[in-house]
Amino acid sequence: MTTAGGYLRAARDTLTDPAHWTKEAYARDRRGAAVASNSPEAVCWCAYGALERLGTGEIVDAREYLRVAADDLFKSPPAGVNDHIGHAAVLRMYDRAIELAEAQS
């Protein structure tokens, strides 16, 4: 079983390259059309979409750490960080969420 920290690390790794990150959709295909996070056509994801592609119920704790990190750092929900603050902020938010998750394990 993967821990919340493991899910957060895997999702962050996906988003490290800005080409694999998107705004205003959970995921997009190579043409830029919105697709489901777990779609085989998906090539880029938002902050939440990168987590959702990894599983469903298993990511609940990871989403909560992401929410707390976004609030701590930016006083915003993760979607607001993703869509309005930008890629660097998303990676920073993930770094903080990983710190929080690892402090609890």
Angle, in degrees to the nearest 10, between helices 87-104 and 60-74: 120
Helix (H) or strand (E) holding 44: strand 44-45
pLDDT, the chain, mean: 95
Using CA atoms, how far apart are residues 69 and 60, in angstroms rounded to an integer? 14
The predicted model scores a pTM of 0.95
What are the tokens at 77? 């929900």
Rg of the chain taking only CA atoms, in angstroms: 13
> Tokens 């919105």, residue?
34
Mean pLDDT confidence for 63-78: 98
The CA-CA-CA angle for residues 96, 97, 99, to 5°, reads 65
For residue range 2-37, list pLDDT tens digits in order.
Answer: 799 999 999 999 999 999 999 999 999 999 999 999
